[in-house]
Amino acid sequence: MNTILEMRGITKTFPGVKALDNVNLSVREGEIHALIGENGAGKSTLMKVLSGVYPHGSYEGDIRFRGAPVAVRGIADSETLGIVIIHQELALVPLLSITENLFLGNERARGGVIDWTAATLRARDLLRTVGLSDPPETPITDLGVGKQQLVEIAKALSKEVKLLILDEPTASLNESDSDALLALLLRFKAQGIASILISHKLNEIAKVADRVTILRDGTTVETLDCHDAPISQDRIIKGMVGRDLADRYPRRAGTPGEILFEVEGWSADHPIHPGRRVVKDIDLHVRRGEVVGIAGLMGAGRTEFAMSLFGRSYGRNIRGTARLNGRAIDVSTIRRAMDSGLAYATEDRKHYGLVLDNDIRHNVTLANLDGVAKAGVIHHEREIEVANDFRRRLRIRCSSVFQETVNLSGGNQQKVVLSKWLFADPQVLILDEPTRGIDVGAKYEIYTIVNQLVAEGRGVILISSELPELLGVADRIYVMNEGALVAEMPAAEASQERIMHAIMSGGAAGARPADGTGPREYPQ
């Protein structure tokens, strides 16, 4: 099999940090090549070099594509070669149609006038190729995340792609959408299209990858051939983190205490469509020292519930009662929710969790400025001290606390989000997809932080689309579907099959005993 891509001795330096140090990567024609490593290992930086985001001249090393040396000076150059990257944050314009997005910057035109008939016909062909049946005139905002991902791939195909780079393509997808996307990559492979797959989901890599290149601390560790012998996830993890990870989920001792936080009759309507109920009469409680998981498919209403609860930051006509230590609390604004002892780490860290063009120091202290102020004036030395403390405790990889958060890897950005809320000293912390797009080593560190919180007597609500994560971390699991809770079960009695059955059937098999220790079915 011929080699389509050779990257040799790639070195990329930013102020104060060497992101890539003599990295080598080789990709063959028609193969799926997985690129993995911890957050901050240099995966995305390497792909930005290849795709022209970091142009020729801003790095050291050589790139050969289809046997010839290339000097990629911008994204247009890489796309002309047939190299197309799909970033984790999709680059689609929500209010434009599928067709308009497919050919944005690559318009089908005659004499300077867009030929919409030709564009629509070509759009239908591309959508058929990726298995998307929606009409080409459908606005992107009307599509779910899984379908938007397919539009991005169709957009790449419109540019006659020869090497497709996918950066965490399934991070925001449910299991069925993820499987469909992986099947599509296998179809492309059969057509001779090569793919570079960046993913932290090791089970997905095992399904489709032909070879795996592991990066660690900006250097190439090794390339493994999946056809020589089966490669275990433990083997890959050891290459990523430089050590064996005996247990994915740190053990936690202790028994949850009395009820710390409870929600009764919580409902919320859609913020734009009046009368459309998206959160339906939620009754939920969290005990002191307990991790409560919320499972459900995308669109089940988990995030909508969490945001409506945290300062009514989502929805309208919000109703219900929230209690902390048995007393009703005011959560009508974000400030009041925080003052009442709640914190919410959003699933969308880039838009809602961080001020990206601010440094780590300012982001860490943002939710508790009183903690670094004297007489209403920010005490800068104290601010630096706090930020450095969390940098050490959460092992945030950065040049200093003065580094802008936009330049951090996704996992390190997530640690800054957690630092911000930990410094706010909440009694109940809501974590919404806290490990999305994060490597196994960073996940373990976050699970350890969760264990420390509950050991201090706090409560944690964990929303996650990864069922093994819920089963490994939570003490008790609620199952949510179509805005309502449909089941509740102790994690010790739960399984992936049982949770999925509850989602699909609208309830768990068997009613909960009177003592509340077993599974519970909610009427539909």
Which ranges of 340-437 does DSSP label H, i.e. alpha helix?
Answer: 360-365, 380-393, 410-423
CA distance 436 to 491: 21
Contacts of 187 (CB under 8 A, 6+ apart): none
Tokens of 388: 């450095």
Residue 245: is its pLDDT beyond 60? no
Tokens linked to 161: 């792609």
Could you tell me where the DSSP H helices lie in 266-378? 302-309, 334-339, 360-365
What radius of gyration do the chain's Cα atoms show?
Answer: 24
> Looking at residue 193, what is its pLDDT?
92
DSSP-H helix ranges across 61-115: 75-81, 98-102
Name, of 35-39, 114-118, 290-294, the range with top average pLDDT: 290-294
Kindly state whether residues 16 and 42 are assigned to the same domain: yes
Average pLDDT over residues 177-196: 89
Q: Place 243 in a pLDDT band, splitting at 50, 70 and 90.
A: low
Domain assignment of residue 167, yes or no = yes
Helix (H) or strand (E) holding 448: helix 440-455
Distance from C-alpha of 70 to C-alpha of 62, rounded to nearest angstrom: 8
Measured distance CA(427)–CA(393) in Å, rounded: 20
Q: Is residue 268 part of a domain?
A: yes
pLDDT averaged over every residue in the chain:
87
pLDDT, position 516: 45
Q: Average pLDDT for residues 442-453, to the nearest whole number?
A: 87
Is 388 domain-assigned?
A: yes
Cβ neighbours of residue 333 under 8 Å, at least 6 residues apart?
311, 312
Same domain, 116 and 43: yes
Answer whether residue 346 is part of any domain. no
Would residue 54 count as lying in a domain? yes
Q: Say what percent of the chain tops pLDDT 70.
A: 94
**pLDDT one-digit tens code per residue, 82-93:** 998 888 777 889
Question: Is a pLDDT exceeding 90 seen at residue 174?
Answer: no
Helix or strand run (H / E) with residue 476: strand 476-481
- Tokens, residue 482: 């179509």
| Residues belonging to the chain | 524
Asked whether residue 517 carries a pLDDT value surpassing 50, the answer given is no
> End of a domain among 211, 241, 271?
241
Determine the pLDDT at residue 506.
63
d(CA 196, CA 212): 10
Same domain membership, residue 520 and residue 374 = no
Task: Give per-residue pLDDT as tens, 260-273.
Answer: 999 999 999 998 88
Domain of residue 296, residue span: 249-341+427-524
Do 268 and 336 fall into the same domain? yes
Confidence of residue 21 (pLDDT cuts 50, 70, 90): very high
Instruction: Give the C-alpha distances (Å, rounded to integers) separating 236 from 186, 216, 310, 342, 464.
Output: 22, 12, 39, 38, 24
Please give the structure tokens belonging to residue 412: 């390190």
Task: Return the H-helix or E-strand segment holding 287.
Answer: strand 277-287
Q: Is residue 158 within 8 Å of residue 118, measured between CB atoms?
A: no
For the stretch 40-84, pLDDT in tens is 788 889 999 999 999 999 999 999 999 999 999 998 899 899 998
Q: With bands split at pLDDT 50, 70 and 90, how would you rate the model's confidence at 514? A: very low
Helix, strand, or coil here: 512?
Answer: coil
- Examine the domain organization and report whether 270 and 292 are in the same domain: yes
Tell me, yes or no, whether 316 and 369 share the same domain.
Answer: no
Residue of 88, 36, 41, 27 whose CA lies nearest to 202: 36
Identify each DSSP E strand in 39-193 by its residue range.
60-65, 68-69, 83-86, 109-110, 113-114, 163-167
What does residue 418 show for φ and ψ, rounded to 5 degrees? Answer: -65, -40
Task: Give the pLDDT band (50/70/90) at residue 436.
Answer: confident
Is residue 347 in a domain? no
The residue assigned the tokens 């509340």 is 516
**Token pair of 169 as six digits:** 């393509």
Give the closest residue to 359 by CA, choosing from 418, 416, 414, 436: 416
Mean pLDDT of the region 493-505: 85
CA distance 137 to 144: 15
The last residue of a domain, from among 406, 425, 444: 425
Tokens of 157: 């195909």
Write down the pTM of the prediction. Answer: 0.66
What are the distances in angstroms from CA 342 to CA 162, 259, 472? 49, 15, 24
Enumerate helices (H) and strands (E) in the chain, giving the number of each.
Answer: 16, 25
Q: Cβ of 334: how many Cβ atoms within 10 Å?
A: 16
pLDDT of residue 282: 96
At 320 the pLDDT is 96
232 plus 258 within the same structural domain: no
Percentage with pLDDT > 90 across the chain? 56
- Let me know whether 231 and 255 are in one domain: no
Q: Based on the domain organization, do 222 and 258 belong to the same domain? A: no
Greater pLDDT, 139 or 395 = 139
Contact at 8 Å (CB) between 250 and 260? no
Last residue of one domain, picked from the residues 378, 393, 425: 425
Which pairs with CB-CB distance under 8 Å and at least 24 residues apart come from 470-476? Answer: 470/293, 470/295, 470/494, 470/499, 471/495, 471/496, 472/248, 472/249, 472/447, 473/249, 473/291, 473/293, 473/447, 474/291, 474/292, 474/293, 475/256, 475/290, 475/291, 475/292, 476/290, 476/291, 476/292, 476/293
Q: Which pLDDT value is given to residue 521?
A: 57
**How many domains does the chain contain in total?**
3
> Across the strands, what pairs with 153?
none
Residue 350 within a domain:
no
Q: Per-residue confidence at 239, pLDDT binned at 50, 70, 90?
A: confident
- Report whether pLDDT(518) > 60: no
pLDDT value at position 504? 75
Residue 388 and residue 289 in one domain: no
Closest CA to 139 of 104, 101, 173: 101
Q: What is the CATH number of the domain that holds 12?
A: 3.40.50.300
Statement to judge: residues 377 and 506 lie in one domain:
no
Q: Please compute the mean of the pLDDT values over residues 215-224 and round it to a whole number.
A: 90
Answer yes or no: do 99 and 209 share one domain. Answer: yes
In a domain, 351, yes or no: no
* CA angle at 9 for the pair 8 and 14, rounded to the nearest 5°: 130
